């Protein structure tokens, strides 16, 4: 090995603020993959990147190297255009569950590899696994075959996919380098671009319940990811969407699946469907199957009114080993042992529904995990949540708590009462879709 590619040399160059070469970045990623860089060297490099940053060109090279550290899915046999959607995570964000079959019902393939919930944000995989029998651990061969056959697969990251990211993410978590913009972007994009997609739409959230609280920082994150995708030959767009109140009326795994099924039946909450349609429009536009957002909206609405999207979701659930009967009868989803209506003493116009307060309450109920090894209770959470701008009479229901113990039920009830704030004057519902980038 050339002395210029020794770990200590590359670390020192980034520590001193230099732009790294493609060979230097490749050596770092290779070291994370094959173990030739030990953990303390990888950790030092992560901190150097955190402190000094990376140019967009460096971040593109890093993403490409991480993507190629494992298998890149070959979906060339799938003739339909292949487009995925990724969200940076929020509270009650179950969009992927119903948007995927809507898009597939419109003739565009959706090869989607999702993650699990950690901290206050829920994970698509945990939600899907609340469906009895649903299997997210498909092999790459099964994944390819299912996308080719029915136009959609909803799976978790396999061992073959971007192994460098798994190693580096674990170290970022314990070295206080999670918030690094280039590392965030490379981690997200290397996995999405390894799926075998033709194009990508990103939902980058900002606000109290989002990973990025500040809109300007969320916009920066979105722009870098869009630049990466475009530079790697995958047309990419991002939507900035607000996350100051939970999305939809349900928070909790099985409860969110039930709400997604309601969306596919044309009964979804307005805010949730606004975000769903906005993302779906961009997916169909990037796929090249429509020329205008209006045309895309009509096709998406027809996928619901014709029940084609509902039928496609049933097909996906059945193909992945799940009980397809839940699509027609959501009561077959697992149910919490206890539930209680939370009522407002005073009523009024809903001024705020604290996304973080609701998320933390759901976490305490057992709906999420603080550590990767924690067990999730798929039955617990909230539904029937009120929305900003609604008028609630005195004694009106503001949420229903689903819990597994009496103590958790009482604590969650108090959390909801504190999270929902009222005023005496009418309040406008907030605009959720703020900006399209790319």
**Comparing C-alpha atoms, which of 179, 182, 144 is closest to residue 66?**
182
Q: Which residue has the tokens 């030959």?
A: 233
Our answer to whether residue 165 is catalytic in this structure is: yes
How many residues appear in the chain?
438
What residue spans of 288-342 are helical by DSSP H?
293-305, 308-319
* Token code pair at residue 151: 């136009």
Our answer to whether residue 86 is catalytic in this structure is: yes
Sign, CA dihedral 384-406-375-324, equals negative
Q: How many Cα atoms are found within 13 Å in the side-chain-facing hemisphere of 191?
A: 21
Our answer to whether residue 270 is catalytic in this structure is: no
- Active-site residue identified among 69, 114, 187, 260: 187
- Active-site residue identified among 64, 93, 126, 165: 165
- Active-site residue identified among 86, 94, 98, 144: 86
The phi and psi torsions of 335 (rounded to 5 degrees) equal: -115, 145
Our answer to whether residue 302 is catalytic in this structure is: no
- Active-site residue identified among 191, 219, 299, 312: 191
438 close to 230: Cβ distance less than 8 angstroms? yes
- Active-site residue identified among 14, 82, 94, 172: 172
Report the SS3 class of residue 11: helix
Angle, alpha carbons 113-270-125 (nearest 5°):
20
Angle, alpha carbons 228-234-240 (nearest 5°):
60
73 close to 57: Cβ distance less than 8 angstroms? no
315 close to 309: Cβ distance less than 8 angstroms? no
Q: Cα(185)–Cα(53) distance, rounded to whole angstroms?
A: 12
Our answer to whether residue 21 is catalytic in this structure is: no
* Token code pair at residue 148: 């080719």
Label the pairing between strands 338-343 and 397-403: antiparallel
Q: Cα(106)–Cα(287) distance, rounded to whole angstroms?
A: 11
Q: Cα(375)–Cα(367) distance, rounded to whole angstroms?
A: 9
DSSP 214-229: SHHHHHHHHHHHHHHH
Q: Which residues have a Cβ under 8 Å from the Cβ of 255 and sit 6 or more positions away? A: 381, 382, 383, 402
Instruction: Give catalytic residues, as residue numbers.
Output: 86, 165, 172, 187, 191
């Amino acid at each position: 090995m050339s002395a210029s590619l020794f770990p200590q040399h590359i670390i020192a160059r980034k520590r001193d603020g230099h732009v790294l070469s493609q060979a230097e970045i490749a050596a770092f990623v290779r070291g994370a993959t094959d173990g030739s860089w030990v953990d303390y060297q990888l950790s030092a490099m992560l901190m150097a990147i955190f402190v000094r940053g990376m140019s967009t060109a460096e971040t593109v090279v890093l993403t490409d190297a991480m993507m190629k550290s494992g298998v890149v899915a070959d979906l060339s046999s799938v003739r339909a255009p292949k487009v995925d959607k990724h969200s940076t995570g929020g509270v009650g964000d179950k969009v992927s569950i119903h948007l995927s079959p809507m898009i597939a019902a419109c003739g565009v393939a959706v090869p989607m590899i999702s993650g699990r919930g950690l901290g206050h944000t829920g994970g698509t995989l945990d939600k899907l696994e609340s469906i009895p029998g649903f299997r997210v651990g498909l092999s790459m061969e099964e994944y390819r075959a299912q996308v080719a056959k029915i136009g959609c697969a909803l799976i978790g990251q396999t061992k073959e996919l971007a192994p460098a990211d798994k190693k580096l993410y674990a170290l970022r978590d314990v070295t206080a380098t999670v918030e690094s913009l280039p590392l965030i972007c490379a981690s997200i994009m290397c996995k999405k671009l390894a799926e075998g997609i033709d194009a990508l739409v990103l939902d980058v959230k900002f606000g109290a319940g989002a990973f990025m609280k500040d809109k300007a920082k969320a916009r920066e994150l979105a722009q870098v990811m869009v630049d990466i995708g475009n530079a790697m030959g995958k047309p990419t767009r991002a939507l900035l969407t607000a996350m100051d109140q939970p999305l939809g009326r349900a928070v909790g795994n099985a409860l969110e699946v039930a709400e997604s099924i309601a969306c596919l039946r044309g009964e979804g909450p307005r805010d949730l469907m606004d975000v769903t349609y906005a993302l779906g429009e961009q997916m169909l536009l990037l796929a090249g199957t429509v020329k205008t957002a209006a045309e895309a909206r009509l096709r998406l609405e027809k996928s619901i009114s014709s029940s084609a999207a509902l039928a496609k979701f049933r097909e996906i659930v059945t193909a992945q080993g799940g009980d397809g009967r839940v699509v027609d009868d959501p009561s077959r989803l697992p149910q919490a042992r206890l539930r209680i209506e939370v009522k407002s003493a005073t009523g009024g116009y809903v001024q705020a529904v604290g996304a973080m307060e609701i998320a933390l309450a759901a976490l305490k109920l057992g709906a999420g995990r603080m550590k990767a090894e924690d067990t999730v209770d798929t039955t617990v959470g909230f539904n029937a949540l009120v929305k900003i701008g609604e008028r609630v009479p005195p004694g009106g229901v503001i949420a229903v708590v689903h819990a597994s113990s009496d103590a958790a039920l009482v604590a969650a009830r108090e959390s909801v009462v504190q999270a929902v704030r009222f005023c005496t004057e009418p309040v406008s519902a907030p605009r959720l879709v703020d900006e399209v980038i790319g």
